[in-house]
Structure 1
Amino acid sequence: MSNASPQPIILTGDRPTGPLHLGHYLGSLRARVQLQHEAKQYLLLADAQAMTDNVGKHQKVTDNVIEVALDYLAAGIDPEKSTIFIQSQVIELAELTQYLMNLVTVARLERNPTIKQEIVLRGFERDIPAGFLVYPVSQAADITAFKATLVPVGDDQLPMIEQTNELVRKFNATVDRQVLVECKAVLSAVTRLPGIDGKAKMSKSLGNSIALGATPDEINKAIKMMYTDPNHLRVDDPGQVEGNVVFSFLDVFEPDTAKLDDLKAHYRRGGLGDSVLKKMLNERLQEVLAPIRSERERLAKDRGEMLSVIKRGTYKAREAAAQTLSEVKAALGLNYFG
């Protein structure tokens, strides 16, 4: 008998409201590329969840399903090792969401820190779409349907993982058997990359991001716009490193840490211009994004093949989700016909 540990199962994904950007790449996509060699990985294109706060803009969501899939593959996701699928086409997820909703109160959903923050960001106040409020339950269904044990997320998504595990424990206690599986969050070394305007989060909707498929000119333009130190008016002025977006990026992309430490010391004492730093960062980002952009352009030439990849993954995902749903319904006594 083998004593080997079971292969981890990973569920992760993105809302297809636009192409992926550097924040996604650093926050979780790089981890997904590595983890696909170590685990059974499902990558979800969360179009149904994206609809909850994109009423009237549904075409944007559906148009971007292939765009996000292109970003996955261009960044190194292998469809032979990772299952890419569309959430709305795995109908078992909607049914599982319905059963899990009975195990959580509206008050508990409203206390979820991630949801509270998103409600404020979108200006919903009390006019919260019901689908948006139960977003954590839908996400729990996505995770538990595949019995995922690991979920790569940014630190702002940790409350969602906590709520998923609450629902798992509640369901298993309700049916008095172990049906669903708890999961653990996998945080990357860089949990969040700031926007180029200095805001805490890079976001396409805020216009402060750099797309993975950005052209050389777009990268250069974004770097020129980057927030540095507003008090560093002249080259000779001492500058502040903390909160300086250019240094935040260099901390991630400059491999020569000794050189970077020298630059920080020089900047703090004065005599180092922002243009020098931005030129250096531009060189690094061009190096990182050039191969991704090139591969993305190659893949985009055959949209039919892209759809085939997603279709195959969706069929595979439905098989796995259907098995879990069957176990859930049996545990609830909903197997009337055997």
Structure 2
Amino acid sequence: MHFYRSLLILFTFFVFCMNVYSIDLKVQIKNGTNGGIGSVDKIKVILLRDGMVPIREMGAQTGNFTIQGLDVPDGSPVLIQATYKGANYNKMVPPVPAMRSKIQEIEVYESSTDIKILKTRSLLQIVREKDSIQVFKIYLIQNNSNPPRSYQSSGLEVFIPQEATGIMGSWTQGQSQMAIPLEFKDQGNGIRLLERSVLPGSTDIQISYRIPAESGQDVTFEDGILFEEPSNEKPIFAKPLDMKLEFSSDSNPQILKDDIPEGLNAFMVKYENGTKKTKISLIGGTPVIPKLTNGPRQVVNGNLIPEWDTSLVAIIGFLALLFSLSYIGEYIKRKNQKHG
């Protein structure tokens, strides 16, 4: 038995080696801020096979260069990650000979510490499940700096209650649509730091966590507005419909009805003027039973949205709508005029 097992391992290794090819990748670095030749501080090549496996690392490079002699399994894409002034720029190379042989253009940008170059909208969705409250925080960020620059600082601060469990996050930037799992640095008092740079263009941040709550138990937790909003208002969505919500900072929140997916209650909630916080109390409600119950929630197809909760996909479209408006209040005004 041991002989046959060893033979199988040897055969598998032989087949794997037979399908490994040595490739050269031609790379061109451009500077998207000044339009000239770009440079990077570091280059890393990562094999996207059963995770992210680094296979080559190089020092500073400028303009055009070639990464030679990369042993890459057939059918496996690779990721070229360029680091410039602390920001990472990713270029995925599909496992197609024509794509591997072409010049891989990577555009890098000068940095800015001015957070005003970012325009951000966020929302909260709350779902009562059997043994917990599932909370999703969604951020859409637009970096429309001119000339284009990456936003760099100590990081972005987001609010997640101290009692939260099962915290997960994904970061999707630019046109790559490649979701990167997030790590959170606990700063205390519910503040978590995301140590990432925001590149020009659009960025989608998804965060998921749970608040422990037995079936039918009333529960209160806190939320706060940090970097994301210039105002002190945020849309909050909730299911099931028979769950009552109360907000410590707003006894009479605006009820949203238009463009809201079926099965959701929606509010525009004013947070406290000074602290930009609110306490959210959930009273009653029939638990929503997920269709997928096996294993922990994972990043799937670039997001944390579970397959059973298609409503969250729809309300991301609502959030995108806010980008076309100067202020959240404009949305309320427009809806009131529509029904007036």
Whether the TM-score (by the shorter chain) exceeds 0.5 is no
Say which one has the larger Rg. 2
- Using structure 2 for the length normalisation, give the TM-score: 0.23
- For normalisation by structure 1, the TM-score amounts to 0.23
Higher helix share: 1
Higher relative contact order (CA 8 A, sep 6+): 1
